[in-house]
Amino acid sequence: GNSVTQMEGPVTLSEEAFLTINCTYTATGYPSLFWYVQYPGEGLQLLLKATKADDKGSNKGFEATYRKETTSFHLEKGSVQVSDSAVYFCAHSGGSNYKLTFGKGTLLTVNP
Amino acid sequence: EAGVAQSPRYKIIEKRQSVAFWCNPISGHATLYWYQQILGQGPKLLIQFQNNGVVDDSQLPKDRFSAERLKGVDSTLKIQPAKLEDSAVYLCASSLEGGSTDTQYFGPGTRLTVL
């Protein structure tokens, strides 16, 4: 079936540290892959996406590469800031009617 | 560009009562989604509309949940009667066409507490 498995949190880092949040998926067909972010008190918003194999999505210093061979879409950032503290969700559109399947989310806290 | 609007933001009811949520999608977006997000989990799709027709309601508990999208714009989601396990955040999202590469834009959500 369709599923998304992402790194269990919470993740706590110091400012300027390197971030990786792992995400793997199972899906039928050729889904698009997404990272959504939820800042405290706000709704979900798209962080980045990739629509085909080997594509790299990037935004606000975050990057993720669509790896079809390992069915992965790991999120990385070279130097995190306090303002990056949020919950991060990995998702794919491989379900019927292209519905999104989400992971459970990873809470990131960045300390000054 | 205005985002997805939802109301109310918070609702507290007792079990067996009914409740309704409202959503106004981004103008021009054909596809509208309702998700349920239980604490500590990712959002789960309840129902998907394309214009005013239902595309997918396979995970909607139809004995107590109903949804409609009149005139292909605004939508309401109703729960009657509510159970304790319905406590969650209900998210509305919209996208331009509902295709595989489409970005879904989410509203702020309605946090429902059932006592």
Residue B100's pLDDT is: 83
Confidence class of residue B79 from pLDDT cuts 50, 70 and 90?
A: very high
DSSP assignment of B66-109 equals: EEE-GGGS-EEEEESS--GGG-EEEEEEEESS--TTPPPEE---
B104/A105 CB distance under 8 A: no
Ranges of chain A with pLDDT below 50: none
Residue B1's pLDDT is: 66
With pLDDT > 70 as the criterion, what percentage of chain B qualifies?
Answer: 99
Closest chain B residue to A96 measured between Cα atoms? B56
Residue A79's pLDDT is: 96
Q: Which of B42, B44, B99 sits opposite A98 (nearest CB)?
A: B99
Is the Cβ–Cβ distance between A50 and A64 less than 8 Å? yes
pLDDT tens digit string along A82-111?
999 999 999 999 877 788 999 999 999 999
CA A15, CA A96: separation in Å to the nearest integer? 40
Helical (H) or strand (E) element with B20: strand B19-24
* Burial category of A20 from C-beta neighbours within 10 Å (exposed 0-12, middle 13-18, buried 19 and up): exposed
Residue A97's pLDDT is: 77
Report chain B residues whose CB lies below 8 A from the CB of A89.
Answer: 42-43
Residue B99's pLDDT is: 84
